[in-house]
Amino acid sequence: MTHDEAKSLLRIRDLSVRIPTARGAIWPLDGVDLDLGAGETLGLVGESGSGKSMLVRSIMGVTPAASTLSGELTFDSVDLAGGRTEQARGVWGKRVAMVFQDSMTSLNPVVRIGRQVSEGARRHLGLTAAQARERTLDLLDLVGIPDPRARLAQYPHQLSGGMRQRVAIAMALACDPDLLIADEATTALDVTIQRQILDLLQEIQATRRMAMIIVSHDLGVVASRTDRIAVMYGGRIAEESATGTLFAEARHRYTRALLGALPTLDMPRHSVLPTVPGSAPDPVGRPRACRFAPRCPAAVDRCRTERPRLLSQGDSGHRFACFVPVEPDAAPASAHAAAVAAPPAATAAAGQPPRLEVRDLVCRYRVPGGTIHAVSGISFAMPPGETLGVVGESGCGKSSAAKAIVRLQQAASGSVLLDGTDLLTLSPREMRRRRTRIQIVLQDPIASLNPRKTVRGCVAEGLLIQGVRGAELAAKVDDALRGVGVDPDIHGGKKAYQLSGGQAQRVAIARAMALDPDVLVCDEPVSALDVSVQAQVLNLLERLKAERGLTMLFVSHDLSVVRNISDRVAVMYLGTIVELGDADQVYSAPAHPYTRALIGAVPVPDPTRDHASTPRLEGQLPSPLSPPSGCRFRTRCPIARQECADNEPPLVEVAPGRLAACHFPLTGSAEPTAPSPRARVRQ
């Protein structure tokens, strides 16, 4: 091992957590060994159910009430696995601190920010109220919160998501901890805000020389910000090594699969992603076998009867738990995807009338305090067989637009033409008939299936409404299920909550496809899924599109996913389309400054990539209740000038087939001319 065990700050040996349930005991953690030295940064990576959150919660002493810990867990020789002892409570919050995933729920909604940040310091450091207040102001200032004095008396809901997460970080730093744990701390945030927070964490870690554990499902997040990475699967550590080594020569097949299943910005479009068959392991029991064996292409008998130990290769510090590791000189995992050929994408025939055309679509909804302009007049046309990707951050109106197009949300004005017929003016009865032509797939697959219905019942519903009955109905339902790779005889009688996320999304797609639509609107269809399952669903959508000549509107916040599946891409910001064009061109040479910033903020799973070189987008998303005048992006735009505040730029062609809504579109690779300081517009 490269790190000296004697010096290790955090020492974990054979740590297990057991929770009794009605189906039998589950083991969210099953024999974890881990060391962390002072000042070291560790990335803890895994899919949902891998145990990564349970591991850090054990360190913080906040495991569920019914759970039982066994094994060794010490921090600087203080036992943290022995319950809430006086000694342990002197470590928690003081020497080890944690930032939780969702600041909306991890901050107390009814306690003022000042108290929440300062109470830890008052308890551990015995500060007076005045001292604690001074310290809180310093901390809020440190994490980049403007006007800290005013924040003390505010409540969490009065801040934006990014600001709340900064408060949570200030709270964790209150006692100057030796170890900071960030548990999916940026997952709930938009990419541009995520980038700000990750940079902040890294700066603080560097200046304070504290150790840090970054827990994430996203390999991109940890790639360039950690010294080491541990990959977890099924409550165990599958592989652990220095960050560079892991990306270059992963030995465990699960790590390889994880790296391969991730669509990246630099692989060819419409790549078929290598997938891992099956889904996450059942957490009940602790089998004497490799947890990954059922999904592993190389598994041998030994993998199913013996538990592989996490062993190191020489003294490189590279440890993995596998009997049949990948040879170290095999090609890098991320290169696998590119090697696979793409299916022939149905190319849009030029000159054909558009299948779906959206004109000046406007969506508004009233909230207490005003009207939210969710979509402010967007237009685009899609020829038959095209996939148009719509990307943007939360609040940009992409989801509202998708729902308005299929009339799940009322549009204030505009039209949606399906083969020339305006859907928005149809009577409910006519619209019901027309719904066979246009269907939607929603984000959360399990929530989108009625929990009281069987899989067959869910898929049959649309056909029943169209008047299909009897044998024809049964045949169509089973066909639709087989079409998405779900065996109706095995799964047809199950309820939604008995399915895995991936299976449920397949059923939801089958429900839409049962009506044999021409247009499929996908609203964040893979956002709720794990990476390995996400690849399965993306491949399925590509296949259906090719087989049936579907026209697809694909909405997602994930730029890599959108790029891989789309022919053209529309980028939205605060209810408007700011850029529209061929996917490759938009990503390689963005014309709008927002597009450029957005692409620059995407965490890239490549440790050699220096993210510090791309410009970071500062500031927060303006309130959609009162969007800025002129160009909506001007308040965060690095090249904004007076004209941007005065006039709203129209979406115009800046190059053949490229549309952008910017007064000063970026052209080619030339650097934008720096505006004179006086002309710069501030909010």
Partner 1 sequence: MSSTTFVAKKLSHLLAVVLLVSLGVTALLSQGGTVAAQILGPNANAGQIAELERQLGLDRPFAERYLSWLADAVRGDLGESLLTHVPVTEVIANGFAVTFELMVLGLGIALLVAVPLAAYTARNVGGKIDTIATGVSSLFMSLPSFVLAIGLLYVFAVRLGMLPVSGWVPLTEDPVGNLRSAILPSLVLALHPMATFFRVLRSDMITTLQQDFVLTARAKGLNTAYILLRHALRPSLTTLVSLAGLSIGSLMTGAVISEVIFRLPGMGSAIVNAVTQRDVPIVQGLVLLVALTYVVVNTLVDILQAVIDPRVQTS
Partner 2 sequence: MSATMTTGPGTRAAAAEDEDAPVRRRPPVSLVLCSAWVVLVLASTLLAGLLPIAGYDEPVADGATPPFESWPEFLGADSVGLSVLSRVIHGAQLSLAVAVLGTVIGMAGGVALGTAAAYFKGWLATVVNLLSDVVLAFPGLVLLLAMASVMRPSVWSLSAMLGLLSLPSSLRIAYANANVQLGRDYVLAARALGTPAWRMIVREVLPNITHSLVAFGFVMVATFMIALGALDFLGIGLPPPRPSWGGMIASGFDSIRTRPYLVFVPAAVLLLTVFSFNTIGDRLRERADGRGGHL
Decide if residue 469 touches partner 2 (CB under 8 A). Answer: no
Binding-site member from 75, 100, 320, 380 for partner 1 (CB under 8 A): 100
Q: Is 519 in the site for partner 2 (CB under 8 A)?
A: no
What value, to the nearest 5°, has the Cα angle with vertex 317 and ends 312 and 320?
40
Q: By C-beta, is 189 or 322 nearer to partner 1?
A: 189
Q: From CA 384, how far away is CA 549, in angstroms rounded?
A: 8
Q: Fill in the per-residue mask, 570 to 609: x = in contact with partner 2 (CB under 8 A), - = not in contact.
A: ----------------------------------------
449 contributes a contact to partner 2 by CB under 8 A: yes
Which of these ranges, 74-82, 179-187, 288-296, 313-321, lies near partner 2 under the rule CB under 8 A? 74-82
Q: Is 127 in the site for partner 1 (CB under 8 A)?
A: no
Q: Is 236 in the site for partner 2 (CB under 8 A)?
A: no
Footprint of partner 1 on 2-61 (CB under 8 A): 57, 60-61
E strand or H helix that includes residue 414:
strand 413-418
Candidates 21-29, 167-175, 190-198, 591-599; binding stretch for partner 2 (CB under 8 A)? 21-29
Window 82-111: residues binding partner 2 (CB under 8 A): 82-84
How many residues appear in the chain? Answer: 683
Regarding 367 and contact with partner 2 (CB under 8 A), the answer is no
Distance CA 458, CA 504 (A): 11
- 266: tokens are 């630099």
For residues 120 and 630, which CB has a smaller minimum distance to partner 1 in the complex?
120
Consecutive H or E run containing 476: helix 470-483
The DSSP line for 505-552 is: HHHHHHHHHTT--SEEEEESTTTTS-HHHHHHHHHHHHHHHHHHT-EE
Q: Does 556 bind partner 2 (CB under 8 A)?
A: no
In the complex with partner 1, which residue's Cβ is closer, 82 or 297?
A: 82
Listed in sequence order, the residues at least 6 apart from 653 whose beta carbon sits closer than 8 Å to its beta carbon are: 659
Binding site partner of 97, from partner 1, partner 2, none, Cβ cut-off 5-8 A by kind: partner 1
Residues 173-232 that bind partner 1 (CB under 8 A): 174
Which residues in 35-50 are b (16+ Cβ under 10 Å) and which e? bbbebbbbbbbbbebb
- Answer for which of 106, 255, 443, 576 binds partner 1 (CB under 8 A) is 106
Q: Is 75 in the site for partner 1 (CB under 8 A)?
A: no
Token pair for 380: 């685009």
Q: What is the C-alpha separation between 196 and 611, in angstroms, rounded?
A: 12
| 626 contributes a contact to partner 2 by CB under 8 A | no
Residue with tokens 């006519």: 430
CB 586 within 8 Å of CB 594:
no
Q: For residue 285, how many C-alpha atoms fall within 13 Å in the half-sphere facing its CB?
A: 8
Q: What is the largest CA-CA distance in the chain?
A: 77
Beta carbon of residue 113, minimum distance to partner 1 (angstroms, whole number):
11
Out of 3, 38, 71, 155, the residue judged to bind partner 1 by CB under 8 A: 155
β pairing state of 652-655 and 658-660:
antiparallel
Residue 499 CA from chain centroid, whole number: 21
Q: Is 63 in the site for partner 2 (CB under 8 A)?
A: yes
Position 169: which residue type?
I
Is there binding between residue 442 and partner 2 (CB under 8 A)? Answer: yes
Q: At a CB cut-off of 8 Å and minimum separation 6, what does 490 contact?
A: none
Residue 237's identity, in one-letter code, is I
Query: Nearest approach, Cβ of 392 to partner 2 (angstroms)?
Result: 20
368 binds partner 1 (CB under 8 A): yes
Q: What is d(CA 312, CA 322) in angstroms, rounded to the nearest whole number?
A: 11
269 binds partner 1 (CB under 8 A): no
| Alpha-carbon distance values, 112 to 130, 145, 604, 678 (Å) | 16, 15, 37, 39
Q: Pick one of partner 2, partner 1, none as the site partner of residue 408 (Cβ within 5 to 8 A by kind).
A: partner 2
What is the smallest separation between the CB atom of 218 and partner 1, expressed in angstroms? 20
Out of 27, 75, 92, 664, the residue judged to bind partner 1 by CB under 8 A? 92
* Dihedrals phi, psi of 43, to nearest 5 degrees: -100, 130
Q: Does residue 443 bind partner 2 (CB under 8 A)? A: yes
Instruction: Indicate whether 508 belongs to the interface with partner 2 (CB under 8 A).
Output: yes
Q: CB–CB of 269/563 below 8 Å?
A: yes
Binding positions for partner 2, rule: CB under 8 A: 13-14, 16-18, 20-25, 63-72, 79, 81-84, 284-286, 403, 406, 408, 428, 431-433, 435, 439-440, 442-444, 446-453, 461-462, 465-466, 496-497, 508, 511-512, 515
Binding positions for partner 1, rule: CB under 8 A: 57, 60-62, 65, 84, 89-94, 97-98, 100-102, 105-111, 115, 119-120, 123-124, 155, 157, 168, 171, 174, 368-369
